[in-house]
Amino acid sequence: MSDSDVLVIGAGPAALVIAAELAEKGLAVTALAPADPRTPWVNTYGIWADEVEALGLSPLLSHRWLDTVSYFGAGGGQVDGGDAPLPHGRAYGLFDKALLQGHLLERFARAGGRWQKGLAAAIEHDADGSSIRVRSAEGVLDAAATSSGEPAPAHLRAALVIDATGHDPVFVRRDPDGPVAGQAAYGIVGRFSAPPIAPGQFVFMDYRADHLSEAERREEPPTFLYAMDLGEGVFFVEETSLALAPAVPFALLRERLNRRLAHRGVKVLEIRHEEFCLFPMNPPLPDLQQRVVGFGGAASMVHPASGYLVGGLLRRAPGLAAAVDAAWREGLRGEALSRAAWQGLWPASLRWRHAFYRFGLEKLMRFDEARLRNHFATFFSLPSELWYGFLTNTLEPSRLLAAMVRLFGLAPWDVRWGLMGLQGREAALLAPMLRPGRQHAATFRQEWRRE
């Protein structure tokens, strides 16, 4: 038996962020992962530069673009309303994955955190804590006998278990409430016969679709280009579907990307890396009464309308760690400790916003390509702090509502019609926002007073 105050399962961004934060509180934290936690992460993490600056982590960016634009015109060569870029006036960055990972691992190690190697396989709870049964990374029981490196004993025990095993978590439960939409993207890092975007630029969303036929634009799912100039003649270009259930297949995204590039007279000369991106955008909240606490993809922390996660992890880990630490010092154990942790992670205001964004995404998924372009053109005409706050989930509910009322006022009629009325499961998704309960109402009152 190995004892710790908190056991964090996983070695992705979520696990490293929360493990470091908890260990820095002085708690005895063990982290469990099937492989060496220094194994490089595969995903590429982009982020608005203001988010990283607010966290004091700008040195962890590998790239930073000042020239950031989107295209919401139809394309077709007419600059006015067709090909004109919309400047965002905000810098965007790309994390240096190795630096971010190294920074978090170092914080964890410096604070006395320990690593164990193995896969969490089963869990049992009692009044004081939980016992995890561990398998070797190869799937064999009794990890101690089979794994190399720093094998975990066959059982690990902790007062609190945090599941950070990603979007398909090993222990955290969520009650499904309908199909979950996936954000899908196919991208390549490579060299091209001509710059696929303007040199030195970051393109957040290029929704121009003049490379598609009228029928495709009408009947097939809308997709956009997300692209960055990585310097020295290398670009990252990615065809992306904001969200759809079921998700847009990679084959279609690849074909769309190739056609988009060909239409602009750009040939791919060299592929250095292919990215296949697929993650759930709008899973329901986990059951906040369960003993195992989640963090990251496991706890539905992906922003349901933008897909961002990493900024949210970094901003919200201190709240969860503070809640765990306070409850721990108060002597809470078992169910009471888990409840305090879940409350720290998902306070009423964040739960309301999660419901709001899920509802918003449901609406957007019904929009055809032209309506989506009109919607985003209006959205990005909002004051910068409002669209930025929406995308990064940093607006309090009252300001979020005010921003959406403003958006409705500015939007053309086709977008307004799309936002009105309730179809499919929209009424069910709206319900948690309209019945906020006493706790939500109090949060709202506090916010209004603060403003």
Q: Which two tokens stand for residue 429?
A: 């998704």
Cβ proximity to ligand FAD, 291 vs 371, nearer residue: 291
Q: 27 or 170, CB closer to ligand FAD?
A: 170
Residue (12 or 75) nearer to ligand FAD, CB: 12
Task: Quote the least distance from Cβ 35 to ligand FAD, whole Å.
Answer: 6
Asked if 382 and 415 touch (Cβ cutoff 8 Å), the reply is no
* Cβ closest to ligand FAD, residue 358 vs residue 440: 358
CB of 69 to ligand FAD, least distance (A): 18
List residues bridging with 159 in a β-sheet. Answer: none
C-beta separation of 186 from 257 below 8 A = yes
Whether the CA torsion 304, 310, 315, 317 is positive or negative: it is positive
Shortest separation between residue 45's beta carbon and ligand FAD, angstroms: 4
Q: Do 181 and 365 form a contact (C-beta atoms < 8 A)?
A: yes
Q: Which is nearer to ligand FAD, 13 or 196 (CB)?
A: 13
Nearer to ligand FAD, 313 or 395 (CB): 313
Would you state the structure tokens that stand for residue 278, as one six-digit string? 């697929």
Closest contact distance (angstroms) between CB of 169 and ligand FAD is: 8
> Could you tell me if 47 and 24 are in contact, meaning their C-beta atoms sit under 8 angstroms apart?
no
Smallest distance from ligand FAD to CB 95, Å: 8
329: CB partners within 8 A, 6+ apart: none
What is the number of the residue whose Cβ is closest to ligand FAD? 12
The minimum distance between CB 281 and ligand FAD, in angstroms, equals: 9
- By beta-carbon proximity to ligand FAD, the closer residue of 45 and 346 is 45
The residue count of the chain comes to 451
Stretch (H or E) spanning 293: strand 293-294
Name the minimum Å distance from CB 313 to ligand FAD. 7
The whole-angstrom separation of Cα 21 and Cα 317 is 7
Q: Least distance in Å: CB of 74 to ligand FAD?
A: 27
Burial (CB count <10 Å: 0-12, 13-18, 19+), residue 361: buried
Cβ neighbours of 375 (radius 10 Å):
23
Taking the complex as a whole, the smallest distance from the CB of residue 440 to ligand FAD amounts, in Å, to: 26
The residues of the shown chain that bind ligand FAD, judged by CB under 6 A, are: 9-15, 32-34, 43-46, 119-120, 164-166, 170, 275, 277, 279, 296-298, 308-310
Is the sign of the CA dihedral 385, 386, 391, 392 positive or negative?
A: positive
Specify the residue for token string 């921003």. Answer: 403
Among residues 168 and 255, whose Cβ is nearest to ligand FAD?
168
Q: Which is nearer to ligand FAD, 164 or 377 (CB)?
A: 164
DSSP 59: G
d(CA 395, CA 400): 6
Q: Cα–Cα distance between 288 and 172 in angstroms, integer? A: 10
Q: Hey, what are 50's tokens?
A: 């203001």
